[in-house]
Chains A and B, each alone.
Chain A
């Protein structure tokens, strides 16, 4: 086990009240595993990754819980100690490669900076490693392209450069926050394929954050579905897609237009909208949109249960268990 998040809650103190962006979540990532966190806007998935990396900005803060990385609690580390880990053992790539790369630095300098800070190599060695990295991620003529500036490269290339930068120090855990969302479909396929190769080569674990269930299906081993800051379902990928349990997961899968879906019927829609975090419905946070809402759902909040190899947070399954 590489990373263990235990009962973590992250909140934002706003003038209007306290928003719990992440509410008591727990999960683990093993070495070499690809775990995906899936959710829409407001689900708390990005905040989760920022919390782990220690990149939360005011007024956000980790309210409670532990983030255990190799038995160190990341939430308790000082900024300096966290900085030693970042880029070195835990790395991150973001959604918008253009804004994540410094436009006035050459590509090679940005990657070398990371290497020299963490691995204490000489400039010459760092440059050699940089070019090697760029080559590994599939940048053609790596030695020349290393001298380019970010704006001279296309979106797909920049994403690869960012990946090279993240992987330069051979981290054990890579957090990828919507790495393919801003890219074309064909480039998306390339980047995902790259992640697989990296995982093979370095036995690297990946925490993949995305709203795209297709990407999850292609890339992940296990999946966590988040809604309004809570985990509502967790399962192996195959299992999640073949028999999803939580009504939200079911709804999501049904509402995606499929290539192999031959009928012209209307898409299934989850009614309603994601609730305002300052004005959550009482009881289960999905109760106002669910097709199977029972009386209990508006009064109490369900706990996470183990069923059929999944973890689900839904009263539908509590009833089933009690009925046994």
Chain B
């Protein structure tokens, strides 16, 4: 068929260009936008640092080497309540354990709980939300009412209730926190799907013959994923906080494991006599949560195609 229409102003382009432009990398664009957000970069940097610490500690444990200045679980009562000094940068706690080592050790616990819990909430939440959003009708109502029931109970109480049923311990804490956050992800995914579903391009996908599963996978989810990623990032920070809360209440990680919330909880009585036993775990929690929040906010802007630098 002859080319009757040439609507490009530069008609030479049409004939001369035999090559096809390389696809513009969407990831590269996102990175560019993210880079411009200083706060997000700071958050990313801090998270990187934390991950590095956690990995280093964990690997060295696996290999049997001691990389921390002191054994975080080694208790020497004669060394208890030492204020921060050259030997013990953060001081020692009531059982004579070096706080600096414990805080670093706690990094790996907090991060792994955060990520694992979000992984649980995400996977279950996305499936439930996607089903409810796409199917609609009775399926939607049933699922969302159940989610509403869960949401009606304050998350901490719900977590405690789960823990009471499951028992204490780190792994149980992960499951409890994971379960508690399922409704949020279900809601977000459902909402995003509802808003995307009515778009013409989804209808077009149906008309050209796509099966339902492929429509959700290829057309709806890619447009919804940015919302999920942002929520998951922020979710890690709230999971860290929840872990700390459970630990503070004595329900999460059990001694002698070094978990920031647990450390905070046990140091309650020493707020005036040895405030550093509270301050450092508190700062650790705050910085971690802040870092994930900053990154999450930055990601939200970077992934929103409207605000991207084009």
Contacts and interface: CB of A to CB of B under 8 A. Distances in A.
The answer to whether A and B touch directly, with their CB atoms under 8 angstroms apart, is yes
Interface of A: 15, 271-273, 275, 288-289
B9 interface: yes
Contacts of A289: 9
B309 A273 contact: no
A141 B131 CA distance: 47
B204 to A, nearest CB: 24
B309 A275 contact: no
Contacts of A271: 7
A288 B9 CA distance: 7
Contacts of B8: 272
- Which 3 pairs from chain A and chain B are nearest by CB? A272-B9, A288-B9, A273-B9
Nearest to A271: B7
Interface of B: 7-9, 309
A124 to B, nearest CB: 45
B7 A15 contact: no
Contacts of B7: 271-273
Contacts of A273: 7, 9
A273 B7 CA distance: 7
Contacts of B309: 15
A15 B32 CA distance: 14
A15 B8 CA distance: 26
Of A271, A273, A275, A288, most buried by chain B (CB within 10 Å of CB) is A271
Nearest to B6: A271
B160 to A, nearest CB: 40
A168 to B, nearest CB: 36
Given A273-B7, A273-B9, A275-B9, 7 more contacts: A15-B309, A271-B7, A272-B7, A272-B8, A272-B9, A288-B9, A289-B9
Contacts of A288: 9
Contacts of B9: 272-273, 275, 288-289
A273 B309 CA distance: 24
A250 B129 CA distance: 55
B218 to A, nearest CB: 31
10 contacts: A15-B309, A271-B7, A272-B7, A272-B8, A272-B9, A273-B7, A273-B9, A275-B9, A288-B9, A289-B9
A13 B192 CA distance: 33
Nearest to A15: B309
A254 B226 CA distance: 46
Nearest to B309: A15
A128 to B, nearest CB: 44
Nearest to B10: A288
A288 B8 CA distance: 11
Of B8, B9, B309, most buried by chain A (CB within 10 Å of CB) is B9
A275 B8 CA distance: 11
Contacts of A15: 309
Contacts of A272: 7-9
A229 B231 CA distance: 43
A273 B8 CA distance: 8
A273 B11 CA distance: 12
A15 B309 CA distance: 9
A275 B10 CA distance: 11
A266 to B, nearest CB: 10
A231 B9 CA distance: 22
A320 B9 CA distance: 28
Nearest to B9: A272
A310 B295 CA distance: 59
Contacts of A275: 9
A288 B13 CA distance: 15
A289 B6 CA distance: 12
B302 to A, nearest CB: 16
A17 B92 CA distance: 58
A235 to B, nearest CB: 28
A113 to B, nearest CB: 32
B14 to A, nearest CB: 13
A271 B309 CA distance: 30
A289 B9 CA distance: 8
Nearest to A275: B9
B8 to A, nearest CB: 8
B88 to A, nearest CB: 51
A272 B7 CA distance: 5
A15 B307 CA distance: 13
A272 B5 CA distance: 10
A288 B11 CA distance: 11
A281 to B, nearest CB: 8
A289 B10 CA distance: 11
A275 B7 CA distance: 12
B231 to A, nearest CB: 28
Nearest to B5: A269
Nearest to A16: B310
A88 B309 CA distance: 40
A161 B102 CA distance: 68
Nearest to A272: B9
B137 to A, nearest CB: 25
A272 B9 CA distance: 5
A59 B1 CA distance: 47
A153 B265 CA distance: 59
A273 B5 CA distance: 13
A272 B8 CA distance: 6
A15 B7 CA distance: 29
A5 to B, nearest CB: 31
A271 B9 CA distance: 8
